[in-house]
Amino acid sequence: MRASIVWFRQDLRLQDNPALAAAIKRGKPVLPVFIWAPAEEGGWSPGAASQWWLHHALQDLQALLRREGSRLLIEDAGTGSSLDTLLFLARQSGADRVYWNRRYEPAAIARDEQVSKQLSREGIRTESSNSAMLLEPPDIKNKSGRPFRVFTPLWNHYRTRTIPAPVCVDLEALQTPKTWPQRNPLDAHTFLPSTRWDGGLAARFGNPTRTRLLTRFDEFIPTRAAAYLTNRDDPAKDGTTLLSPALHWGQIGPREAWKRLDQSNPAVESGLMRQLIWREFSHHLLVHFPQTTHRPLRNEFLQFPWREDPEHLRLWQQGETGYPIVDAGMRQLWQTGWMHNRVRMIVGSLLVKHLLGHWLEGARWFWDTLVDADLANNTFGWQWIAGCGADAAPYFRIFNPILQGERFDPDGTYVKTFLPELDKVPTKFIHRPWALGDLDLASCGVKLGQNYPRPVIEHTFGRARALEAFQANKARAGSDSSS
């Protein structure tokens, strides 16, 4: 009896899943499998917060498949590989085809090519599809046939293209095998941390099943999508979709999200639709410039004198920089596994500009703490802030953490949510408590250096030092290229 394996990876849903649709259409029993193979991720295996989300997404997929009379094999590649696991399952089940949806991280691309070659040597056909992008990187080129390195032309290009509709999966036709082979079954609870630090994530996201995520998005669209542009920069507001972890793990596909948006509404077009294209942009960059996971896209930054200062890094990671908007962001990240986009830019700027910390240090910390950690978006975000990536922030853009706080969190609601020790500080001083003076601060219950830190670096000094370093780098790169 022949069978088909569907290898689930970052496409943890049944609908709009072209690999599953193709396997079902073939008309043979289908074995759905997820393989945990962190060693195959090129040094970027899912971090702790991302694994928390993965746990829930897998449990949900398992429940959805059981409802269809099927199940999900959750396997551990262990010291072996995904290939070994697939070969074992194929031999046990008689499967002669393996279906999957494509991934775009360099290590995953290389691994998938190998798996495909080896399986075909064993007489097993493979078929891959696109479930994660609106349009795939190889299909997108600028007028000179090259990859886009600037966002606006890419966005204009997307506006001329037709975005395919989500794929309808005929679950009624899903056939199941008579027996279920298993190699190294992995009880999904192992993705949860052994020391339970995840209470804040559970409080923020509950149990993020596909149904709940779709319900939230469907409620968001009529009430908040048109106001997205007004609200999205206010970290105290629930003004963004929170789609990012669902898109990363594929509980919701981008085409499903796109289809739900009212394309005739200019506010939606220049708001959420454009935002989804930033996600496409970062994936295009990752495919065309795979070295950027560990190297700057702009070569002139290869020699940049980043400062290594473990104590500064620790203060930044723990939200103890003395800049309330930065500390609130870092504590939001630690407590909930998520951080507002505006605040991601502010905290990133403090690390790579004021403190001259390496963008990869920031990227690694985000990687381990974000529930939406995504190699394309994270790499792009960090290189954008550091000024060393595509379409990056110019080197002289150095966010002032005081003014950014005053502008985007004017009454300090966001800061006070995550820094309760500053609760009594008057609004006028909430983003620069040190300016209040010791006596007045004491009457608010704050003693700088004791229950809230002094600024890790003085803003004007940090800004001037960063400008000097970035200017010197530019000059050096200019003279290197002309010599």
Q: Which span (63-71, 154-162, 300-308, 364-372) binds ligand FAD, by CB under 6 A?
A: 364-372
Contacting residue, 17, 62, 126, 241, with ligand FAD by CB under 6 A: 241
Q: How far is CA 247 from CA 116, 195, 358, in A?
A: 25, 27, 28
Angstrom distance (rounded) from CA 327 to CA 304: 26
286 makes contact with ligand FAD (CB under 6 A): no
Contacts of 322 (CB under 8 A, 6+ apart): 434, 448, 452, 453, 454, 455, 456
Q: Is 377 in the site for ligand FAD (CB under 6 A)?
A: yes
User: Can you tell me which of 11, 374, 391, 409 binds ligand FAD, judged by CB under 6 A?
Assistant: 374
Among 108, 140, 373, 446, binds ligand FAD (CB under 6 A): 373
Length of the chain: 483
What is the helix (H) or strand (E) element at residue 389, kind and residue range? none
CB closer to ligand FAD, 93 vs 240: 240
User: For ligand FAD, which residue has the nearest CB?
Assistant: 381
Binding flag, residue 275, ligand FAD (CB under 6 A): yes
Q: Which helix (H) or strand (E) holds 460?
A: helix 459-482
Among 19-27, 196-204, 277-285, 309-317, the segment contacting ligand FAD (CB under 6 A): 277-285
- For residue 50, the minimal CB distance to ligand FAD (Å) is 9
Of 89 and 343, the one with the shorter C-beta distance to ligand FAD is 343
Q: Closest separation between CB of residue 336 and ligand FAD, Å?
A: 12
Q: Is 276 in the site for ligand FAD (CB under 6 A)?
A: yes
Contact 258, 272 (CB under 8 A): no
**Which residues on neighbouring strands pair with residue 452, listed in sequence order?**
448
Decide whether 104 or 380 has the Cβ nearer to ligand FAD: 380
Q: Which contiguous run of DSSP H or E holds residue 83? A: helix 82-93
Task: Name the residue among 31, 155, 20 with its Cα closest to residue 92.
Answer: 31
Can you list the alpha helix ranges (DSSP code H) found in 337-393? 341-349, 359-369, 375-386
Among 107, 135, 174, 243, binds ligand FAD (CB under 6 A): 243
Q: Which is nearer to ligand FAD, 248 or 432 (CB)?
A: 248
CB of 71 to ligand FAD, least distance (A): 29
Q: For residue 35, give the 3-state DSSP assignment.
A: strand
284 near ligand FAD, judged by CB under 6 A: no
Instruction: Give me the 392-421 binding string for ligand FAD, x by CB under 6 A, dash otherwise.
Output: ------------------------------
Q: Is 279 in the site for ligand FAD (CB under 6 A)?
A: yes
Query: Given candidates 148, 289, 382, 408, which one binds ligand FAD under the rule CB under 6 A?
Result: 382
383 binds ligand FAD per the rule CB under 6 A:
no
388-391: which pairs have CB atoms within 8 A and are 24 or more residues apart? 388/296, 388/297, 388/298, 388/300, 388/301, 388/304, 388/359, 389/285, 389/292, 389/296, 389/297, 389/298, 390/149, 390/150, 390/151, 390/281, 390/285, 390/289, 390/297, 391/149, 391/150, 391/151, 391/281
Is residue 132 within 8 Å of residue 102, measured between CB atoms?
A: yes
Q: Which stretch binds ligand FAD (CB under 6 A): 71-79, 303-311, 343-351, 390-398?
A: 343-351
- Strands 95-101 and 125-129 come out as parallel
Total binding residues toward ligand FAD, as defined by CB under 6 A: 29
Number of H helices, E strands in the chain: 21, 5
Contact positions with ligand FAD (CB under 6 A) in 68-127: none
Q: Which residue lies nearer to ligand FAD by CB, 247 or 388?
A: 247
Report, in Å, the least distance between residue 381 CB and ligand FAD: 3
Chain-centroid distance of CA 74 in Å reads 23
CB closer to ligand FAD, 114 vs 263? 263
Would you give the distance in Å from CA 4 to the centre of its chain?
31
Binding of residue 235 to ligand FAD (CB under 6 A): no
Interaction of residue 344 with ligand FAD, rule CB under 6 A:
yes
Distances (CA, A) of 381 to 254, 365, 466: 19, 13, 19
Q: Decide if 53 contacts 100 (C-beta within 8 A).
A: no
Amino acid at position 186, single letter: L
Which one of 92, 128, 265, 341 is in contact with ligand FAD (CB under 6 A)?
Answer: 341
**What does the binding site for ligand FAD look like in residue numbers (CB under 6 A)?**
232, 240-244, 247-248, 272, 275-276, 278-279, 282, 341, 344-345, 348, 366, 370, 372-374, 377-378, 380-382, 385
